[in-house]
Structure 1
Amino acid sequence: MTLSLRLAQATDIDAIGALHYDSRIAAYRDFVPIAGLRGLAPESLAAWWRERFAYEAETHRLTVAESDGRLVGFSYVGPEEEHEAGVGQLYAIHLDPAAQGRGFGRRLMSDALATIDRNGWRRAVLWVLEGNAHARRFYERGGWRPDGREREELMGAAPTRQLRYVRESWLGESA
């Protein structure tokens, strides 16, 4: 299986919404009530991405991963959401559940860190659900560490605790 990364196009948004939906169900179903996860249908997630893609096109980068002509993942990178100077944020990496374990997520992470570097941000942050042990291990293997900041947000009606991870240095490294 070959993997290629490219900037997302407006025509990718429906597929991104569907993949985001499937990824959320697979990743979060063991610790977030399924009703909360199913509350945002693929069409709703596509509409959310369509709006975000249009609104943040100048400051953020939505990258898609394709394998054999099929969308298998995406990442989203931009300035840190609280506008902390010199800090970029990895907002999302989502993979088709069937594509996990093939190095695609690591390729998306490396690409995201390269984007952060090209933008002149010398520090990177991301938020991950506390209960998502799989994602936390993935990020920790990639050199990310929790920095002690936490927040709680609703996913559907379910409160979820999120941990902020940081990566201070990555130049010249592969994730």
Structure 2
Amino acid sequence: MTDATVRIATADDASTIAAIQVRTWRAAYAEALGRATVDALDEEALAAEWATAVTHPGSTVLVALEGATVVGFCAAGPAPRDDVAAADDSLPADADTVALVSTVLVEPRWGRRGHGGRLFGTAATALRADGHTRGITWTAQSDSASLSFFRSVGWNPDGTVRTLDTGERTVRELRLTGGLDVRFTDADD
């Protein structure tokens, strides 16, 4: 394998991030979200959103590279109130120090090479440096690969669920939570 690295994303990476998102969602999430939903993804519109996200204060957007090729990305930052709140809308005592890892995505053809672990580990380090004490993420209950990945780093469902309506399907998501003191080796992913 060529050199594998992680770096902070720039606005120049936005179109590549969007392309990876579209290819990966179409390959991995068509059944869960619905074929029409993933086919309707607008790569240009997503690129504009990612260009904004990489420069948004407080957010951390990282890209994984194999050699010079961007193969995946991760986005994280302070967790919004609605994501941290319990079903009864109450907030935990540590709400102000909870981070949201909104996505860790590696294009399937580059999977199983440690890119996801490097992305997550780098994001966790940055989040700790920003004062976050733990993290959360939302994962489709049917997404066994993502659930397995997060469980491997000690993140587990906390009992909170939400249902998203894609217009074609309803997707039940589990909120997972865990610590940010994680270490990875190339075998993790």
TM-score, reference length from structure 1: 0.90
Give me the whole-angstrom Cα distance separating, in 1, the residues matched to 2:180 and 2:77: 17
Number of aligned positions between the proteins: 171
The code of the aligned residue for 2:134 comes to R
Tell me the distance in 2 between the aligned counterparts of 1:100 and 1:151. Answer: 28
CA distance in 1, matches of 2:122, 2:132: 14
Shift of 1:131: 1.1
Distance 1:156 1:115 in 2: 36
Is the deviation greater in 22-31 or in 57-66? 22-31
Name the CA distance, whole Å, in 1 between partners of 2:42 and 2:114.
28
Q: Residue type of the partner of 1:9?
A: T
Amino acid aligned to 2:52 = E
Partner in structure 2 of residue 103 of structure 1 = 114
Greater displacement, 78-87 / 149-158? 149-158
Displacement of 1:44 in angstroms is 2.5
Matched, 1:174 2:175: no
Residue matched to 1:162: 173
CA distance in 2 between counterparts of 1:87 and 1:61 reads 14
State the identity as a percent: 26
Give the unaligned 5+ runs of structure 1: none
The CA deviation string for residues 38-78 of structure 1, in whole angstroms up to 9 with x for no partner, is 11132222122223334xx2110111111111110110110
Match of residue 18 from structure 2: 17
Matched, 1:4 2:5: yes
After TM superposition, the structure 1 = structure 2 runs for residues 85-96 of structure 1, keeping only pairs within 5 Å, are: 85-96=96-107
SS in 2 for 1:30: helix
| Mapping of residues 38-117 of structure 1, within 5 Å | 38-54=39-55, 57-82=56-81, 84-117=95-128
Q: Which amino acid aligns with 1:77?
A: A
Whole-Å separation in 1 of the counterparts to 2:125 and 2:28: 26
Conservation of the 8 A alpha-carbon contact between 1:77 and 1:115? no
Q: Which runs of 5+ in 2 are unaligned?
A: 85-94, 185-189
Q: Counterpart of 1:152 in 2: which secondary structure?
A: strand
Q: State the alpha-carbon separation in 2 of the partners of residues 88 and 164 from structure 1.
A: 12
Q: Secondary structure at the match of 1:85?
A: helix
Relative to the length of structure 2, the TM-score reads: 0.84
Distance in 2 (alpha carbons) for counterparts of 1:33 and 1:133: 17
Conserved 8 A contact 1:37-1:156 = no
Letter paired with 1:73: G
Deviation (angstroms), 1:156: 5.2
Distance 2:183 2:53 in 1: 29
- Deviation of 1:132 after TM superposition, in Å, equals 0.6
8 Å contact 1:73–1:94 — kept in the other structure? yes
The answer to whether the Cα contact below 8 Å between 1:87 and 1:122 also exists between their aligned partners in 2 is yes
